[in-house]
Amino acid sequence: MILGASFDTPEENLAFAKDQKFPYRLLSDVDHKVGAQYEVTRDPEEKFNEFARRYAYLIGPDGVIRMAYDVTDVAAHADAVLADIERLSE
């Protein structure tokens, strides 16, 4: 299962998903509580502090985080995750 999360409202996420034809479920974390748990919030004095850092997590069926990704190359990210899923499945 693939989920996305952002600090945007449900309405903003819905508009984004429709506009971008984003096929995955998007969760809204408007109070940043989940973001704080996953350490993606920015310091209040940091530029763009209203946005989450772009991180992705590969979570196993047991609920344990297997990999954490600081997503800097969006185009290559999916291939990296798929390769890790295959490697971890062996």
| pLDDT value of position 74 | 86
> Rounded to whole angstroms, how far apart are CA atoms 11 and 25?
13
Could you tell me the domains of the chain?
A: 3-89 (3.40.30.10)
Residue 3 clears pLDDT 90, i.e. is over it? no
Structure-block tokens of residue 38: 């996953």
Over residues 20-70, the pLDDT tens digits come to 998 889 999 999 999 999 999 999 999 998 999 999 999 998 999 999 999
Residue with tokens 């209203």: 50
| pLDDT value of position 82 | 92
